[in-house]
Amino acid sequence: MKVLRSKSVLLGLAVMLLVAFSLSACSGSKGGDVFRVGVDDVYPPMEFKDDKGATVGFDVDLANEIGKKLGKKVEFQSTQWDGIFTALKAEKFDCIISSVSVNEERLKEFEFTKPYIANAQVIIVGAKNTDIKSEKDLKDKKVGVQVGTTADESAEKFLKETKFDLKKYEQIIQPFSDMKVGRLDAIIVDEVVARYYAKTDNASFKVTGGRLTNEPIGICFKKGNTELRDKVQKAVDDLKADGTMKKLSEKWFGEDLVSNVQ
């Protein structure tokens, strides 16, 4: 009987541990105390790895501030851009805070916060380039974009009117490396990224004239997840009201790109 009783106690303890583990796992995977954020962390200055391998950037700082408002620990999940929306639909993370431009197509498939930072598609060229000022000047030039982005979509539209050699890259850092060694004449990219590169390496890059599109950036959620979206929107509104958003913008861009977002 003593042996049977001991086995019963052990079995009971095992069941309790299994239940506790299951609850803990559910808490981590479905929210709980963790705010899981998908990022394509090769997109400076929005999200990228620093020299020590830490994930940093404007969006990273923003996500951490949102986490504080929500009372949750932020967990970043690095995901390549071409698979990031599929991963969100599969609930691999709670949202994407990774330079997601808000457009009509994405609004049909996902939930979004209001735009939190101004953005557009622009053309960036070599610092000494005087030939390219607009998309019409791309004729017969070698142009780079990141695949699957709105810059990619813009480039495909421009191709219908102006023929140029379009090269697509998995990561945005790759066309900038190619331009530096003369393999590209121009890059179509988010303005926030273009201005960062032009600011940090003005001997190599400069941003051409006007904006090609108006594409403000928002936080992206799985369709139907309006409860979390609304909580995050409240956090962003508070961060804007208390001046935190402006400080983050000035830290990463040297100017205020958040106060007058349309």
**pLDDT beyond 80 at 113:** yes
**Dihedral sign computed on CA atoms, order 64, 65, 66, 69:** positive
Using a 10 angstrom Cβ sphere, with 0-12 exposed, 13-18 middle and 19 or more buried, the burial of residue 228 is middle
pLDDT confidence of 39, banded at 50, 70, 90? very high
What DSSP string runs through 129-183?
--S-SSGGGGTT-EEEEETTSHHHHHHHHHHTTS--EEEEESSTHHHHHHHHTTS
Q: What's the pLDDT at 260?
A: 84
Which helix (H) or strand (E) element contains residue 255? none
- Give the β-pairing of 142-146 and 165-169: parallel
| All structural domains of the chain | 31-118+217-253 (3.40.190.10), 121-207 (3.40.190.10)
The pLDDT tens digits of the residues spanning 249-262 come to 999 988 899 998 86
- Residues whose CB is less than 8 angstroms from the CB of residue 13 and which lie 6 or more positions away in sequence, other chains included: none
Side chain identity, residue 150: T
For the full predicted model, state whether its pTM sits above 0.85. no
59-102 residue pLDDT tens:
999 999 999 999 999 999 999 999 999 999 999 999 999 999 99
pLDDT band at 7 (very low <50, low <70, confident <90, very high): very low
**Segment 186-219, tens digit of pLDDT:** 999 999 999 899 989 999 999 998 778 888 999 9
The residue among 25, 237, 255 whose CA lies nearest residue 116 is: 237
Q: Give the three-state DSSP class for 30.
A: coil
For residues 146-178, one letter each, b for 16 or more C-beta atoms within 10 angstroms of the residue's C-beta and e for the rest, the string is bebbbbbbbbeebeeebebebbbbebbbbbbeb
